[in-house]
Amino acid sequence: MHLTDLTLVNFRNYDEQTLRLSEHVNVFCGENGQGKTNALEAIALLAIGKSHRTAKDKDLVRWNQEQAVVDGVVEALHGPRRLRLELGASGRKAYVNRVQQTKMTDFVGHFQVVLFAPEDLQLVKGGPKERRRFIDVELGQTQPMYLHHLSNYTRTLAQRNKLLKNGITDDAYLASFDEQLAVYGAHVILRRLRFLTQLQPVAHQVYVDISEGREDFDFRYTSTVPRVSTELSIDDIAEQFARALADRRQMDLRMGYTTVGPHRDDIQLFLNGQDVQSFASQGQQRTIALSLRLAEIDFIYREIGEYPVLLLDDVLSELDDTRQRNLVLSMSRKVQTIITTTSLFHLEHELTSDARLFQVASGIITE
């Protein structure tokens, strides 16, 4: 899979820009604040349907303009796909092959990317929300039904929380929401468990390769729903979840929100058996984040039968270890890679002859 064409109209600091990309390596070079990251953000937007930098679409629209457009052509295993997003004050419109999609969940999944950015250190240093988002973005790109279940779960959770906040104590009424929440939540939990089970050996091996076997990296999913595992069925997990909701109902009423469920779950990260947040150095934390991202590439290939596009947002200069930089660059030999950088100094010896170089200055990209 690779992105062949990209068009931006009134997106961030871009007026109108059209690019033809190499199916191998593409490098966007320029000073900070010129629009390199904006271009990668637009590409990721076509895959994920959300910005990794802002939750507000208005931030994506160029100053004094009413609408931004991101349009791309993706060459995939089963033929080309044209993806288009129109973002404006009146909402967003999403198109696949010029057909408007009724829901964003129908748009996501036609294009897969793995984005590695400096902010990825928050995967390790940040709170549980960052790690849940990591799972949700990955599964959302490869398993459309996951987004369906997650959307239903989020909607039902909001309804239950509103009842709790308003002090509704009718057990039968709350139980009806508990039943729905437990079923949707069980699907979310089981898919997350299966995903991490597949990801773990790959991420572990990537870390071993980078650290030359000096350290052992591991992780596990920690759920607020007790005794869940990949060996259980959806019905089994839903039953466990419903029981946990019933047990915590009085606490939830006192707190005014739901205290148990996949919206409260986390991934625990370990290095040599010790908690990463407490014991790992900054360099070790960065290597863990890199290992998780590179493991995503293999997971996506196993899920859909083709490699995603790798987006590297000004991170190669951060990888001061030669093995880490070489490991990332080696991925470009099998996946389309799009890199942003302020200098070609650390890339000049690694780039192949078919790499395409772009200069970025004041929202204008030239080759």
Helix (H, G, I), strand (E, B) or coil at 340: strand
d(CA 18, CA 5): 7
Residue 337, marked binder? no
Tokens for 252, please give them: 């939830």
Residue 35, marked binder? yes
Residue 303, marked binder? no
d(CA 194, CA 186): 12
Query: How many other CB atoms sit within 10 Å of the CB of residue 37?
Result: 21
Residue 32, marked binder? yes
Q: Of 95, 46, 30, which is closest to residue 359 (Cα–Cα)?
A: 30
d(CA 186, CA 319): 39
Q: Tell me, what amino acid is at 248? A: R
Q: Kind of pairing, strands 113-116 and 99-100?
A: unpaired
DSSP β-bridge partners for residue 99: 96
d(CA 260, CA 111): 33
Residue 33, marked binder? yes
CA dihedral of 215, 216, 222, 226, whole degrees rounded to 10: -140
Query: Buried b vs exposed e over 304-320: b needs ≥16 C-beta within 10 Å?
Result: beebbbbbbbbbbeebe
Backbone angles phi, psi at 302, to 5 degrees: -65, -35
d(CA 56, CA 336): 29
Residue 34, marked binder? yes
Give the annotated binding-site residues: 30-37
Give the annotated binding-site residues for ATP: 30-37
